Amino acid sequence: MSYYVTTPIYYVNAEPHLGHAYTTIAADVLARHMRQRGEDVFFLTGTDEHGEPVAQAAERQGVEPRDLADRNAQRFRDLTTTLDATNDFFIRTSDSQHEAAVQRVLQQVYDNGFVYPGTYEGWYCPRCADFKTDAELVDGNKCPIHLIELEREKEDNYFFKLSAFQDKLEQLYAERPDFVGPQVRYNEALSFIKGGLNDVSLTRARLRWGVTVPWDESQVFYVWFDALLNYYTALTYAREGQDLTGEFWPADVHLIGKDILKFHTVYWPALLMAAGMEVPKRVYVHGYLLMGEHKMSKSLGNVIDPFQVIDLYGVDTLRYYLLREVNFGHDGSVSPEGFEKRYDSELANEYGNLVSRTANMIRRYCGGTVPEAPADDSLASEFANVAERVCEQIDAVDLTGALETIWKHVRRLNQYLQDEQPWKLAKDDSQGERVESILYGVAEGLRVVSVLLHPFMPEKTTAVLEAFGQSSADIAAARFGAVGGGAEVGELQPLFPRIESATAA
């Protein structure tokens, strides 16, 4: 089966920050997990390069939009590499193939009768690239997100008949309760739709930095329509000479932050319907990473640089921390202190110690080979359904829940060692078999949790699995008892060494 997961494409008006890293990490966990299950995965990320956000940032810096885009697109590309993201393609909306495909699809929407010329009059925030109603403004004329003063605009452009999709969208939501997750976001999207849909501008007359409208070359497409279509266009040219849409369209899940809910849960399915295309299976909306009480954002200047954190602690730690600390789907605060705490107490003390204790005891008491001995039934039964449970949680995009399930088992193994105290039993020659049974059980449990943790912490778990003589991280390997004893335990560097500096930010 195929599985297609996407992140939003990020604006190149500024450099990447932790908020962008967050969505990419989450999507990568889904992609890696689905590959473990043998799915044929396509994971897409990239950059959104057109529109006012980029054009105006370039103007402020005195450079051409394309130069700014080239520079920052490279930074986002570097981020995906630094995050160990296994994306199958990196799309840039300035790619000529993307532009041509956008023109094709939107021409179809026009030919299908869902576009008409009109005059837009109202407020527009160039940083959001979004139109604002009077009710949304603060202090009379300010964008509620960027707090910059907006001007009223009047321009002739083409409109998309969003209103024509009111009933169809309501029907889609009624038939597909999991079209948007989590539930609060489904409710929010549905109530937006039920509030009544107005037509929206499809094109911009004053802007040059965008995809040219084929039926009126004096205009470019409004950046959001150009951007949303990336999820489709990428499949048409990611592999030269191949059209991957047959295999991967529609997407299984678009991961997004809640800031761009309206575009993905209302405009996007309507646009696809207007083009006669299938809508995605699911849009999953996560919350904000907060610093203190505020959304981390470049415009507020309260951002943590992911490159710095990774330099100091390594990428797996960051991947783990973000998905563990902030309940995926909800808002949550992150901080250098919180980061250090989980690093010490969970990664170093719980998982890291479990690994080194187990390896040391196998070396000391079992000649360095994982013993061939039956594990305790009680331990085996506690591990019996862990892989199924994790799969169910990942299917529900409950990444934090899946980590919690895995972590309970890490803790269980530590508790088991604490209860059984094999280091004491080892002093008594008559207890040799018992020691072997305990250590086989712990090694086997550790192997299972490491396979399940692999999508979250690919580097560290690979090191652990290799040290315990295992190479497979397929989901089938996450069954307790799937592997018997006999493997040699190799050398292993400390997984989570003490970090001196207390400055993750």
Residues identified as active-site: 17, 20, 125, 128, 143, 146, 295, 298
Residue 365 C-beta: closest distance to ligand MSP, Å: 47
Closest CA to 350 of 205, 449, 226, 234: 449
Which residues, numbered 364-423, are part of the site for ligand MSP (CB under 6 A)? none
Comparing CA positions, the residue from 268, 234, 227 lying closest to residue 249 is 234
Is position 188 an interface residue for ligand MSP (rule: CB under 6 A)? no
Q: Does 295 bind ligand MSP (CB under 6 A)?
A: yes
Q: How far is the CB of 232 from ligand MSP (least distance, A)?
A: 11
Beta strands 332-333; 289-291: pairing state: parallel
Residue 470 binds ligand MSP, judged by CB under 6 A: no
Q: How far is the CB of 156 from ligand MSP (least distance, A)?
A: 25
Residue whose entry in the numeric block shows the structure tokens 């530590």: 414
Restricting to residues 48-107, which ones interact with ligand MSP according to CB under 6 A? 48
Helix/strand/coil percentages in the chain, nearest 5? 50, 15, 35
Buried b / exposed e across 387-422, counting CB within 10 Å, b at 16+?
bebbbebbeebbbbbbbebbbebbebbbebbeebeb
Beta-bridge partners for 182 = none
Nearer to ligand MSP, 225 or 456 (CB): 225
Give the residue carrying structure tokens 């499809």. Answer: 202
274 to 293: interface string for ligand MSP, x by CB under 6 A: --------------xx----
- By CB under 6 A, the residues from 297 to 336 that bind ligand MSP are 297
Nearer to ligand MSP, 233 or 358 (CB): 233
Choose the stretch contacting ligand MSP; rule: CB under 6 A; options: 15-23, 360-368, 433-441, 457-465: 15-23
Which residue number, 279 or 438, has a Cβ lying nearer to ligand MSP? 279
Ranges within 244-273 binding ligand MSP (CB under 6 A): 256-257, 259-260
- What distances in angstroms separate CA 121 from CA 115, 157, 378, 387, 440, one per listed residue? 17, 10, 69, 55, 72
Cα 129 from Cα 124, distance rounded (Å): 7
Question: In b/e form, how buried is each residue of 69-90, taking b as 16+ CB within 10 angstroms?
Answer: beebbebbbebbebbbbebbeb
- Nearest approach, Cβ of residue 260 and ligand MSP (Å): 5
Residue 296 found at the interface with ligand MSP (CB under 6 A): yes
Please pick, from the candidates 34, 169, 190, 228, the single residue that binds ligand MSP as defined by CB under 6 A. Answer: 228
Q: Give the pairing type, strands 151-160 and 115-125.
A: antiparallel
Q: What is the rounded CA–CA span in Å between residue 456 and residue 400?
A: 11
Shortest gap between Cβ of 251 and ligand MSP (angstroms)?
12
Handedness of CA 4, 7, 13, 14 (dihedral sign): negative
Nearer to ligand MSP, 287 or 422 (CB): 287
- In the shown chain, the binding pattern of residues 19 to 48 toward ligand MSP, with x for contact by CB under 6 A and - for none, equals xx-xx------------------------x
Residue in 496, 460, 211, 142 with CA at minimum distance from that of residue 353: 496
Only one of the segments 16-24, 104-112, 357-365, 450-458 lies at the binding site for ligand MSP (rule: CB under 6 A); that segment is 16-24
Question: Closest separation between CB of residue 434 and ligand MSP, Å?
Answer: 49
Q: What's the chain's Rg over C-alpha atoms? A: 26
| Residue 227 sits in the site that holds ligand MSP (CB under 6 A) | yes
Q: Judged by CB under 6 A, how many residues of this single chain contact ligand MSP?
A: 21
- Least Å from the CB of residue 129 to ligand MSP: 8
Cis peptide before 182 (omega within 30 of 0): yes
Number of residues in the chain: 505
Write out the residues near ligand MSP by the rule CB under 6 A. Answer: 8-11, 19-20, 22-23, 48, 227-228, 230, 256-257, 259-260, 288-289, 295-297
